[in-house]
Chain A
Amino acid sequence: MNRARAVGLALLLSAAAASAQDAFPGRGRTVFLLVDTDYLLCAPCSAWLEDLARLLPPPARAAGLRVIVTYRDPEGEGAGGRRGQIARLQWRGFAGGRSLDLPVAFDDGRAFHELVTSGPAAWLLDFELGTVRKIPSPLRAGEVAEIAAFLLR
């Protein structure tokens, strides 16, 4: 990804983050795992998320790992609407059934919707440098170490 594109995307994501409550910690570098509710029953998708949560060292997780859950909301009702409630319920069931304890934010303003692709992905953002790197699922060799190093740098 070239620098201009990365800066543009970082700005877009920065703006998007403002609309997702508690999506990012108050620092310049973060990793978010973008997950659509449609993926929650997809075995490879959930395995990717669980592997990341299990393999990342706790200090790296604590340093700025977040889950952002997107969902279909054609009527734009947001957090208080039926779709927003269902997304929260399904995430609670998903995380509870797998003992996943990750900070989560919901894309109630659909700011992240355009970033959703054919599977979940990790997005590595450095707002200060204006760099963005996307790591799509499934996990490949070295990617957990790369994410950990990014968060702990």
Chain B
Amino acid sequence: MRRNARIIRTAVAALLAAAVPGGAQTAVRLEEVLSIGGPASEALFQWTGLATDDQGALYVLDAMDFAVKKFDARGRLLNKAGRRGQGPGEFTTPRWLAVDGENVYAVDQSVAGLLVFDRDLVYLKTIPLPGLVEAVEARPGGGLAVVVSAFDAPGRVLFLDPDGRTAGELRYREKREGFLLDTVSLALAPGGAVYLGFLFQDRIERWDLSAGRSWSRSLFGGKASETTNVRGFALPKDTFILDIAVDSLGRVYALGGKQARNRARDVFVLDASGALTAVLTLPQPSHCLHFDSRDFLYVRAEEGTALKKFRLVFD
């Protein structure tokens, strides 16, 4: 335990030079600047979704106590809302969050829509959508992008205005590739590019709204996921990209899944052209990556009972 704690405190990110084939190698260090929760705290029990606002506040969804929590920039709990249920502002399977303007948008995995709160976590309304929501991100210029999973219309990113009206659409797949194979995480670059990380495929894609798909990259040799049969469904077993994020300089960060050398800890850094420039390793496994507007990185720690904020230093 002492050894782990030391690793966490020093927040060493290893450069795995061998994993950057033939490209320029950039060393990346992680400096921990904030930690919220942990085994000795009751701030977080098992957090899932995270968003930040322009004041440095953090909004966190906790799947264990069905709550959305707001912390200030120093990690102090300011407010908490939500409880278990299917009524207004209630959760059954809280997953993802986004902040846009004065609103906080929450995704519950069992709800075909977005739950909308204000920044004080007062529930406002639910925006209905045509399917369950796989991912939500705030758009750099305002509004939201959501990946909606609808059986008759797979592979869609919907762009919404702040009131939830559809303002555009990106079709990244015209038909299903296989059960769960189109499951993606989503990241939006400042210039408008859309990045998709595929959970069950070795694939990261960049899309531009006007030009379509710019590129597609694999990180693990293009390996296909093995499948397992569950009640007649061939379910993919291998995870590739657990989450994807973009910083303000347009660098793309992909969190590797089961196929990574360090599962849920290796983060692959790509430039805007898709070239792999570095690999860093988180101190502990995470399920997601989030950057705030000042390029601080937020990840999970202590099996979901803690949240860590890091400064990335590129040498």
Interchain nearest-CB distance for A89 vs B (Å): 5
Q: Within the complex, which residue of A75, A82, A93 is in contact with B45, where a contact is CB–CB below 8 Å? A: A93
**Closest A-chain residue to B41, C-beta based?**
A89
Among candidates B1, B63, B64, B67, residue contacting A81 with C-beta atoms closer than 8 Å: B1
A residues whose Cβ falls under 8 Å from a Cβ of B: 40-41, 43, 75, 77, 81-82, 85-86, 88-90, 92-94, 96-98
Nearest 10 CB-CB pairings of A with B: A93-B45, A85-B39, A93-B64, A97-B65, A86-B39, A93-B65, A97-B66, A82-B1, A86-B303, A89-B305
Interface assignment of B247: CB less than 8 Å from any CB of chain A: no
Cα A145 to Cα B311 with chains together (Å): 56
Taking a contact as CB atoms under 8 Å apart, the answer to whether B1 and A89 are in contact is no
B84 touches A89 (CB 8 A): no
A41, A75, A89: the one within 8 Å of B39 (CB) = A89
B93 within 8 A of A: yes
A40, A77, A92, A97: the one within 8 Å of B84 (CB): A97
Residue contact B46 to A90, C-beta cutoff 8 Å: yes
Complex: A85 Cα to B1 Cα, angstroms = 12
List, in ascending order, chain A residues with CB within 8 A of B315's CB: none
Would you give the 0/1 interface string for B1-43, flagging 1 where the beta carbon is closer than 8 Å to chain A?
A: 1001000000000000000000000000000000000011110
Nearest neighbor of A81 in chain B, beta-carbon distance: B1
Q: B46 to A96, Cβ gap below 8 A?
A: no
In angstroms, how far is the closest chain B Cβ from the Cβ of A95? 9
Pairwise interchain contact A89-B93, C-beta atoms closer than 8 A: no
Given A94-B64, A97-B64, A97-B65, A86-B305 contact (CB < 8 Å): yes
Closest to B4 in A: A82
Q: B302, A75: Cβ atoms under 8 Å?
A: no
A43 to B66, CA, bound (A): 13
**Secondary structure type dominating chain B contacts:** loop
Chain B contact residues, CB within 8 Å of chain A: 1, 4, 39-42, 45-46, 62-67, 83-84, 93, 302-305
- Collect the chain B residues with CB atoms within 8 Å of residue A81's CB: 1
Provide a sorted-by-A list of 8 A–B residue pairs whose CB atoms are within 8 angstroms: A41-B46, A82-B1, A86-B303, A93-B42, A96-B65, A97-B45, A97-B83, A97-B84
Q: Cβ of A89: which chain B residues have Cβ within 8 Å of it?
A: 39, 41-42, 45, 305
- Take A75-B1, A98-B84 as given contacts and tell me if A82 and B65 are in contact as well, using a CB distance cutoff of 8 Å: no
* Nearest Cβ on chain A to B85's Cβ, whole angstroms: 11
User: Distance (Å) between the CB of B36 and the closest chain A CB?
Assistant: 13
Q: Would B1 and A43 count as touching, CB distance under 8 A?
A: no
Could you tell me if B305 and A90 are in contact, using CB atoms closer than 8 angstroms?
Answer: yes
Given A93-B64, A96-B65, A97-B65, 8 more A-B residue pairs with CB atoms under 8 Å apart are A41-B46, A41-B63, A81-B1, A82-B302, A89-B41, A90-B45, A90-B304, A93-B42
Q: Which B residue sits closest to A97, measured CB to CB?
A: B65
Inter-subunit contact A92/B45 (CB<8 Å): yes
Please name the residue on chain B nearest to A77 by beta carbon: B1
Q: Are B42 and A92 in contact (CB under 8 A)?
A: yes
Q: Which of A75, A77, A85, A93 contacts B46 (CB 8 A)?
A: A93
Provide the bound-state CA to CA distance between A94 and B67, in Å: 12
Chain A residue at minimum C-beta to C-beta distance from B40: A85
Question: What chain B residues lie within 8 Å of A86 (beta carbons)?
Answer: 39, 302-303, 305
Q: How far is the CA of A71 from the CA of B83 in the complex (A)?
A: 26
Interface centre among B62, B64, B304 (most CB of A within 10 A): B64
Q: How far does the Cβ of A80 sit from chain B's closest Cβ, in whole Å?
A: 9
On chain A, the residues within 8 Å of B63 by CB distance are 41
- Chain A residues with CB under 8 Å of B66's CB are 97
Q: Could you tell me the distance in whole angstroms from the C-beta of B200 to the nearest C-beta in chain A?
A: 19
Contact residues in B for A82 (Cβ distance below 8 Å): 1, 4, 39, 302
